[in-house]
Amino acid sequence: MDATTKQIVLCLGNANADVNSAFAPLEGRVANGRAVSVRNLPGSLDASGCNAVYIHDGAAKKVLEKLVQAKMSNVLTVGDGADFLDAGGIIGLVETEGRMQFDVNPDPAVRGNLRFSSQMLKLARNNR
């Protein structure tokens, strides 16, 4: 078993200080017996070794294109930009009336062989 299967690597794209601060508490936490590691994507947008990529507003198209070019369709992508799902992202975060909600775009998830529980999909604001 290599290091990436022993941990969950969450990469941050286009992260500013607020995004880094929001994700910092996840570093070292354990989920399903695996430690969580949070890192920023380098300028090259190389997401190798990432299990999930959070893409902050404005960088969705560029980061998602890079993932497609690198044949990394099995990486869960989460973003907060208005055009995130249209650009090919999988989970789009939306703030509505002070509550954080999410939309799901299943097409890229299916292409990447990613699966979601029916319970999670029921929580989605609008499952495409």
pTM of the model: 0.86
pLDDT score recorded for residue 126:
79
- C-alpha distances out from residue 57 to 74, 76, 94, Å: 21, 16, 11
Residues in CB range of 112: below 8 A, 6 or more apart? 73, 74, 75, 76, 90
Tokens 């989605």 found at: 124
Write the pLDDT tens digit of every residue in 24-78.
Answer: 999 999 998 999 999 998 877 788 889 999 998 877 888 888 888 877 888 999 9
Q: Say what the pLDDT of residue 72 is.
A: 81
